[in-house]
A and B are shown apart, each in its own frame.
Chain A
Amino acid sequence: MNPLVAFRVSYRALRRNKVRSILTTLGIIIGVAAVITMVSLTQGAKRIIEEQLTSLGGNSLIINPGSRSRSGVSKGLGKTNTLPSEDAEAIRKLSTVTHVSPILDTTEQVVWGNRDWFTALVGVSPDFVFINGWFPERGSFFHNEDIKNAELVCVLGKTVASNLFGYQNPLGKTIRIGNISFKVIGVMSSIGQTPGGKDQDDIVLIPYTTMQKRILGVNYVNNISVSVRTSKDIPFAEAQITQLLRERHRIRPNMEDDFYVKTQLNIIERIFTISKIMTILLGSIASISLIVGGIGIMNIMLVSVTERTREIGIRMAVGAKERDILIQFLIEAVALSLTGGVIGIVLGIAGSKISSLFTHWPTLVSFGSILLAFGFAAIVGIFFGLYPASKASKLDPIEALRYE
């Protein structure tokens, strides 16, 4: 019997039992829909995480003073004074490095007229905007001239600008920061909160030299922020910087570093691993429902074989071979699971669109997950259809014919 005929015979048998066929496939439908929805949800979540990571500066690293203890936590907490600002200039010359900015931070009261605001005061270089991909919305950022001359200019974060000036234009105004007058030359665009809930717009940026000389009276920096071309360059850049700073700091080979380079790479890798685990976890939970669906198919096929014992006997009496019966029932099982698979794919796509509405995540229904779910459904059909089908084909013709 050729496969097409076998398929038609099976199709007829399924159509005659419409309600049961649909109920049987329900398990597969739910399983496939669940796999697709789950996988697309986790992939959507993964993409959000990736985007946020890039906006956090996936291609940047930070050099902190002090040594890294075994557990990876800094002992010095960045408040030791082992990083002179000349280190930043030396790092700038490295081949992989694109931008470098020394960072010094403190907190200060800023005052304009009768308004005041307590905020983070951060000294940086003009490279700061490129490293963080964060630019002024109005006015401009300070230039290398301002650094050289330790000018009294500042750029306000959005929160500070609105708290001090309301709807007024802050550009060109003079504010007081710790009793020193600064001219406002720019306002940064808003970048919102950190994942931890800290308002990143609550900041005032000034040239780091001004910070060193006029505010803190120091000649070191708190840390150095560096960006490289792509995140792939990070490991090499880290090695280059470590070597350079060890030389500059005259650290002998068997001595510990008096600085440490912090990259986001670890975090990125860890987050990716976590999201991969999530995908696998949710995917396998959904797969379990596929297997349950398969058992449902096996159950119904077994009932069907018993019910149709007489039919099998008749078919054998007119010349059906074992193989013909086997193929017929196998195709029925596979047709059931594949029909369920197709319906499940449609529902799964709908399901991921709906859950995208609720979670506001972009859900990605990948071709891969569709293929996976469909292939899995087919395998489930064959696997769980095989036993009932072989049971049917092994029936004794005479006993099957006599079956009431």
Chain B
Amino acid sequence: MEDIIVVENLHKVYKMGDVDVHALRGVTLTIKKGEFISVMGPSGSGKSTLMNIIGCLDKPTSGRYFLEENDISLLDKDELADIRNKKIGFVFQNFNLLPRSTAIENVELPLIYDGIPSDKRYRLAKEALFMLGLEGREKHYPTQLSGGQQQRVAIARAIINKPSIILADEPTGNLDTNTSTEIMEIFRRLNKEGKTIIMITHETDIAAFAERIVVFRDGKVMKEEWRSKEKLNEPVSRV
């Protein structure tokens, strides 16, 4: 399989007054198209920082990042916005839905910025909600939906523009065990359909859905573990 994401020796330093916070200290990672990866590690180890760089929301202080063999550091703001729009779907721990917009308005948001006409937007968004089992919830506002339903709206939004990569930062962090499993089944299905999924999690049983587990510590990759297809659902060793 071709390499969809390649990061080489990534560093990220936050300046907090006089103090430098080293969030990433040389991360090198290669991700193949269609992989399902869990990222684990203690709090503050730099997982979200890496995720934001991969998602083109943030830029590294140094190091290189290739997305589908394109050097991201050469792109301007508008081009990065285009990548976020078409190539990447984000799923967040706190869902990040627009609170004053309905489910369907939230889902069609990426299409607005892709210049898709409204009738087509509506149709695609309705389809996406249907696929995620949210038929009849189109006109509901986020506060009128359960956590699991909100996360499914967020996933519908993440996949609406058919990105090849889904980045999920603790997508089940705010959900109970049953709902978490439902969400993970959705990710597994999306992965089977060919999407590359990178997911941060603190829970070993959630991480166990992935084929590869990358463990972070102090801004570096401490350990990587490949899991054969048969063993996928077996518990992951604690980090």
Contact = CB atoms under 8 A, between A and B. Distances in A.
Nearest to B78: A321
A318 B78 contact: no
B112 A16 contact: no
A383 B77 CA distance: 25
A316 B161 CA distance: 15
Interface centre among A313, A314, A315 (most CB of B within 10 A): A314
Nearest to B97: A314
Nearest to A324: B113
Contacts of A314: 96-98, 109
Interface centre among A310, A319, A323 (most CB of B within 10 A): A319
A319 B113 contact: yes
B69 interface: no
Interface in B9-43: none
A311 B99 CA distance: 9
Interface string B86-104: 1000101000111011000
Contacts of A321: 77-78, 81-82, 113
Nearest to A17: B100
B115 interface: yes
Interface in A1-38: 1-2, 5, 9, 12-13, 16
A400 to B, nearest CB: 10
Contact of B90 (A9, A317, A320): A317
Interface residues of B, number: 28
A401 B96 contact: yes
Contact of B112 (A9, A317, A397): A9
Interface centre among A5, A311, A313, A318 (most CB of B within 10 A): A318
A4 to B, nearest CB: 9
Contact of B85 (A310, A311, A313, A318): A318
B113 A317 contact: no
B173 to A, nearest CB: 15
Given A316-B84, A317-B84, A398-B57, A1 B96 contact: no
A321 B77 CA distance: 8
A397 B115 contact: no
Interface residues of A, number: 24
B58 interface: yes
Interface string A285-322: 00000000000000000000000001101111111111
Interface centre among A12, A321, A323 (most CB of B within 10 A): A321
A313 B96 CA distance: 9
Nearest to A8: B118
B109 A315 contact: yes
Contacts of B84: 316-319
B110 A318 contact: yes
B81 to A, nearest CB: 4
Contacts of B113: 1, 315, 318-321, 324
A334 B232 CA distance: 56
A5 B112 contact: yes
A335 B95 CA distance: 31
Contacts of A9: 112
Contacts of A320: 81, 113
A397 B92 CA distance: 14
Interface string A366-395: 000000000000000000000000000000
Contacts of B78: 321-323
B164 interface: no
Contacts of B118: 5
Nearest to A2: B115
Contacts of A311: 98
Contacts of A5: 112, 118
B220 interface: no
A317 B98 CA distance: 12
Contacts of A16: 100
B3 interface: no
Nearest to B79: A321
A398 B58 contact: yes
A3 B105 CA distance: 18
B47 interface: no
Contact of B82 (A13, A319, A398): A319
A244 to B, nearest CB: 81
B84 to A, nearest CB: 5
A247 B157 CA distance: 98
B143 to A, nearest CB: 13
B181 interface: no
B52 interface: yes
A324 to B, nearest CB: 6
Nearest to B113: A319
Given A322-B77, A322-B78, A317 B96 contact: yes
B71 interface: no
23 contacts: A1-B115, A12-B105, A16-B100, A310-B96, A314-B96, A314-B97, A315-B113, A316-B84, A317-B55, A317-B57, A317-B84, A318-B109, A318-B110, A319-B81, A319-B113, A319-B114, A321-B78, A322-B81, A324-B113, A397-B58, A398-B52, A398-B57, A398-B58
Given A311-B98, A316-B57, A318-B157, 13 more contacts: A1-B112, A2-B115, A12-B105, A13-B100, A314-B96, A316-B81, A317-B57, A318-B110, A319-B84, A320-B81, A323-B78, A397-B57, A401-B57
The 9 A-B pairs with the shortest beta carbon distances in the complex, nearest first, are: A319-B85, A319-B113, A318-B110, A321-B81, A16-B100, A397-B57, A398-B58, A320-B113, A319-B84
